[in-house]
Each structure stands twice: as structure tokens, then as C-alpha cells.
Structure 1
Amino acid sequence: MKLDQIGQALASCYDNLVAEGLPDHLAALVRRVDLAERSRSGKAERPDAPIAVVVEDERDTRELAESVLEETEMRVIGCDSAENALGILRERGGEVALVFADIRLAGAMDGLQLARAIATLWPRTRLVVTSGVEPEPGVSLPEGAVFIPKPWRALDVLVEAERAARDPWPPVS
């Protein structure tokens, strides 16, 4: 079987799981297997690797996105609100290559407000915004931001992570 066929089959299964919702017991099992696999493989985190920040208030969806991004060379940090993500960016903004944020978030800020703040304060950070609904008419994303509708596919997220790691934005002068 060719690699493309395997990827398509996995994407189809994944789409069905995300659309139906991941049961708590299955999400817990995936987390345990993922942790066991990482400890067995000895995958050490590189302190100089770029950071991917996942901003999602639904725990299972956030942990799923974190697991997908942990397959890259990036260090992954999950946040349940835009305010927490801004705290990470204030501390480590120069290290953050990618922010993957839901539009609808718990807290005072939504994902679009977060994306605009990041585009202004950390313009070299690649922005990926997601939601189960399209942004309202007249609402625009910051320049360079990408919208991926839910249910998103792991491959789409990984492509954007690869772009963030491979093609960082030019330095701000």
C-alpha cells in the first residue's frame, strides 16, 4: 500500500472521529499510549526548537492538536484561553513559530482578537485559526493568517507547522 493511500485512510478515520467527538475513555487511552511511546522512543525535547502554541478551551480537542503537533520538531504548549497564550508569548515570543487557535474561546478575548494582537506584537509568528463555523462576513484575519475549518485534519495542521518551522517570516526591521 502506498504512503498516500495510508494517509488518506487515516485522514478519513480521523475526520469521522473528530466529527463524532472523541469519547473521554478513548482520549485518555490515546494520551497514555502517546506518553508511553514518547518515553520509549527517548524523544528528547530540544531546548532550541521553535514553539507551537495551541489555544483551545475544549480539553480533548486541545490535547488532540497538541499530540498532532508533537509529531513535529517543535516544542508544544497548550493554553485554554487567549489570555494564557499571551502570557506565553510575553515570556517566550521570540521562540514561538506557530499559534494554532480556535476562534471561540473561554475568557475575555476570542481567537480573532488573539490573532490580531499576535500579528501586531509578534509579526514573525505564523497564525492558524480554526473554528466549526466560518468567520462572520466582514471579519477578516490578519495578513498571512490561515483559516482551517473544524473538523480539521491532522495533515492540514502539520503542513502549517512545517511551513512555520521551515519558512519563518523575515526579521522585522
Structure 2
Amino acid sequence: MVTSATKRPVVLIVEDEFLLRTDAAEMIGNSGFDIVEAHNADEAIAVLEARPDIHVVFTDIQMPGSMDGVKLARFVRGRWPPIKIVATSGFVNVGTDDLPEGSRFLSKPYRADQIVAALRELTAAA
């Protein structure tokens, strides 16, 4: 039986590049988090509407679809304020005012220890 005290934090990975998404999922999953994956912002919103257990959205900035990662981050913060945001990009430089307060930005290529440290810090109170 899994109790809330032993439940692993759930991270929604939003990345349109399949290999980057699977690498991130393996890296994050091996570090003690449960993983849910989405290909773009629209898929991510559908997951968030269906799953109230998401703690963190780990999103790429540049994605095809109705919104990029910055717009997704703002949408998530507006609709699900407790959910934490980690955004990443290899091409876009994101300033502190671009993302919702309390969000983290990691530039690609990122290291596993950077991701895990950010996720652990954001989920420490979860």
C-alpha cells in the first residue's frame, strides 16, 4: 500500500523531441520521481486536467502547437498555482521576468544533477 508519506513526486515532462523527452524521463525517473510525458502544451494541459497529482511541469521552451513553454508555464501557474515549473531551452535565453515567480530555468544541455537538484528543491515541501 502506498501512503501519501511514501508517494513519489510526479513530474510532467513536456518535450517535443522524442529522444530528449525519453532521456529526461529516464534521468528524472531514476532520481526518485514518477514521470508523465507530453509531446506539446496541448497534451500537457490534457494530462493536467486528468491528473491532480502532478507536482512539477518540466517543459521545453520551443515547441510546436498552440503555445510555447513560456506560455504553458504562465497558463499552468494561472490555473494550477501549486504546480512548480522548470523550463529549459538550448536556443532561447529566458529572463527572470519571462517565467512565473518561483520557476526555474535550465539551459540545454543540462546535467542530471542540475535537474535533480531543482526538482528536489521545488518538491521538498510537497
If the length of structure 2 is used for normalisation, what is the TM-score?
Answer: 0.87
The residue number in structure 2 matching 1:132 is: 90
Distance 2:95 2:74 in 1: 17
Residue 137 and residue 68 in structure 1: after superposition, are their counterparts in 2 closer, same or farther (change >3 A)?
closer
Q: Write the distance in 2 (CA, Å) between the matches of 1:159 and 1:89.
A: 23
Which is richer in helix? 1
Cross-structure match for 2:66: 108
Give CA-to-partner distance per residue, 1:30-71, whole Å, 9 cap, x none: xxxxxxxxxxxxxxx989433101000000000010001102
- Amino acid in the other structure paired with 1:159: A
Q: Deviations over 1:114-171 (max 9, x none)?
A: 0001111111111000001233679611111111001111111101221233123xxx
Change (3 A) 1:67 1:117: same
What TM-score comes out, normalization by structure 1 length?
A: 0.65
Task: Tell me if structure 2 keeps the 8 A contact 1:54–1:100.
Answer: yes
Q: Do the aligned partners of residues 80 and 119 (structure 1) sit closer, same or farther apart at CA in structure 2, a change above 3 Å counting? A: same
Post-superposition offset of 1:106: 1.6
Tell me which residue corresponds to 2:36: 77
Alignment of 1:143 with 2:101, yes or no, is: yes
**1:80·1:106 contact (CA, 8 Å) conserved in 2?**
no
- Overall identity of the aligned pairs, in %: 30
Question: 1:148, 1:137 → 2: CA distance?
Answer: 11
Distance in 2 of aligned mates of 1:87 and 1:141? 21
Task: Give the Cα separation in 1 of the matches to 2:34 and 2:102.
Answer: 22
In the other structure, the counterpart of 1:87 is 46
**Which of residues 20, 36, 56 is equivalent to 1:98?**
56
Structure 2 regions of 5+ residues with no counterpart? none
| Larger fraction in strand | 2
RMSD (CA atoms): 2.2
Tell me by how many angstroms 1:101 deviates. Answer: 0.3
- 1:73 deviates by 2.7
Once residues 29 and 68 of structure 2 are traced to their aligned partners in structure 1, the CA distance between those partners, rounded to angstroms, is 24
